[in-house]
Every structure is written in structure tokens, then in C-alpha cells.
Amino acid sequence: MSDSLDRLPARLVIASRQSRLALWQSEHIADALRNAYPQSEVRILGLTTRGDRITDTPLSKVGGKGLFVKELEDALARADADLAVHSAKDVPMALPPGFCIAAIPEREDPRDCLVSNRFASLDELPAGAVIGTSSLRREAQLRERYPGLEIRALRGNIDTRLAKLDRGEYQAVVLAVAGLKRLGLAGRIRATLEPEAVLPSPGQGALAIECLEERNDLRRGLLVLDHGDTAVCIRAERAVSRALSGSCQVPLAAYALLRGANIFLRGLVATPDGRRTVRAEIEGPRSEPERLGEELAKMLLARGARAVLAALS
């Protein structure tokens, strides 16, 4: 590690969104870097993204994933920051030229969960109950399994979403387990939704560390943060989405896990109303995550996803 330590700047600046969860994630990475490279000073540059400013419109209608990333990338390009910390699920599948994902740390729980003050499971929710979600992916899968529920858009950070639930605007909300755990709010979880019921978003529960591709010194130093098992799973999931041109406008899910030396990868494409859902799964060597993701995308297209995507375009 001494060679990498010598190459790292004496001062590292992390670009971060300013939500409580984003700052927690950035501070988590900052602490890891301080432990690995005690000679480097690490600080966080908080920024507000377009996605943070637009809180009253579903992401699918205002541009999708890049809304939470561009301002952080601009800070990297201006050299105001050295690296950016993102939720991996928010990172567009194709990065702008000159940028790269330098490390993917160990994943937190990738599942979704039900949060409710009255009901302990989705099965307990009565017909007509209002459930909030920010994701077309979640909405499509909920509508498929529970057509009697009323699904309403829910934007804002975790604290805002919980406040709306507590005010009675929703009978329940569906959130990512990882965010609640990271903020010490795991006690709000009433039921964890297994991937067999609600398949997660590509990259859910993982962080992505981005920097400029030309920063070879920094890229080598950031490898200390990379978790190999997590990284190959995320690469497979992102390959599915990339091959299908996945965005927030498409209800698309992909989730990979390791089985020994293999990756087991599942994927889903659906219409937002949940009436048409296409599923597929594949297993293959962990040494070929991108190929497996591309193969799974081809399977989904062959089973009907092409027509679903065409109808959504």
C-alpha cells in the first residue's frame, strides 16, 4: 500500500449530494480512506443536484438517473473534487467520456421493504390502500401482485417520505432497506420484500466511487475500497440495464448473487401497470459478468421485453 499512499494527494475532496443519506455514505467512504491513508486529509464537498431540487415530479418524467450525478461530475471536471460517492443505482449505465467507476465497496442489503404504521405486510393492506413509491420498477411489481392497491408517487429524501407516511398521506411506503439501515432507521421496517417478490434495481444497496479516468494515481489508491464479490455482481446487473437502455422511464430490475464460482443473475422488464412482466435468469462464471448481463438481456428481449420497451418508448 505504500506505493499507492505516496501517489495519493495530501488532500482528497469527495463530492457528495447533501441529503442525510448521501452525506452518511460519503462520510463512510471518507472514514475508510482516512483509515487506509492516514497521511491524506479527506473532506466532503456538499452539492445540490437537479434531482434534489425537483421533488414534486416522478423521476421517470424529468430525466431519470443522471439527475443525481451531473453536478458531482461537473465538480470532478473542474477539479473542485477528486472523487464522487454515488448510490450505484443512481449512476447512468453509460458514463460520460473521461469518467470511470474506480471502486465499488461491499454491498449493504439490496432488498426493498415495507414501512407502515398500521400494517405488517403487503398481504394485510386492504383493497384501495394507498402505498407510496418513487420507482416504476417497484410500482410495476406491486401492481402485478396486488392490483387492488392504489399506488401513488412518493418523492423526497427518506426523512421526507417517512414524514408523509406519518402524516397519514399513505397507508404504507416501499423503500430500500439499505438507506434505512444506514440512517439507523431499521426499526421502521415492517417487512422485508424478498427478491422473489420484488426484484431490486441494478446496483441497489451498493455505492459507486467515481473519478476522472486520467487520475491513474487516484484509481490505484481507491482500489482499497473495492469489494470484489460486490463489484462483479454490480457489473452483471448494470450490463443487463445497459443492454436494454435501462433508465427510470423503464420498469427494469436486475439482481445478481454469487453461487461459489458462479454468478446467478435474475432480470425483469415490465409495463408500469404490471399487466405485462417478462422475467429471465441465467447462471455462469463470475469471470464474465458483462457477458452474462448481456445474455440475460437477450433472453428478456426474446421472451417479450422488446415489445414492452417499444411500447414505453
* Grid cell for residue 189: 421496517
Contact assessment for residue 80 and residue 45, using Cβ atoms and an 8 Å cutoff: yes
| Identity of residue 69 | V
- Tell me how far apart the terminal alpha carbons of the chain are, to the nearest angstrom: 48
Phi, psi of 257 (to 5 degrees): -140, 160
Nearest partner of 209 among 6, 4, 33, judged by Cα? 33
Catalytic residue among 3, 80, 90, 112: 90
Spatial distance between the Cα atoms of 143 and 122, rounded to a whole number of angstroms: 12
* Grid cell for residue 162: 417517512
Spatial distance between the Cα atoms of 200 and 194, rounded to a whole number of angstroms: 9
* Grid cell for residue 298: 437477450
Spatial distance between the Cα atoms of 311 and 313, rounded to a whole number of angstroms: 6
The single residue listed with the C-alpha cell 446467478 is 264
Catalytic residue check, 82: no
Contact assessment for residue 188 and residue 113, using Cβ atoms and an 8 Å cutoff: no
Spatial distance between the Cα atoms of 115 and 177, rounded to a whole number of angstroms: 10
**Alpha helices for the chain (secondary structure H):** 2-7, 20-36, 50-53, 70-77, 136-145, 158-166, 177-182, 216-222, 228-243, 289-300, 306-312
Contact assessment for residue 67 and residue 91, using Cβ atoms and an 8 Å cutoff: no
Between β-strands 172-176 and 41-47, what pairing exists: parallel, antiparallel or unpaired?
unpaired
The single residue listed with the C-alpha cell 405488517 is 120
**Catalytic sites, residue numbers:** 90
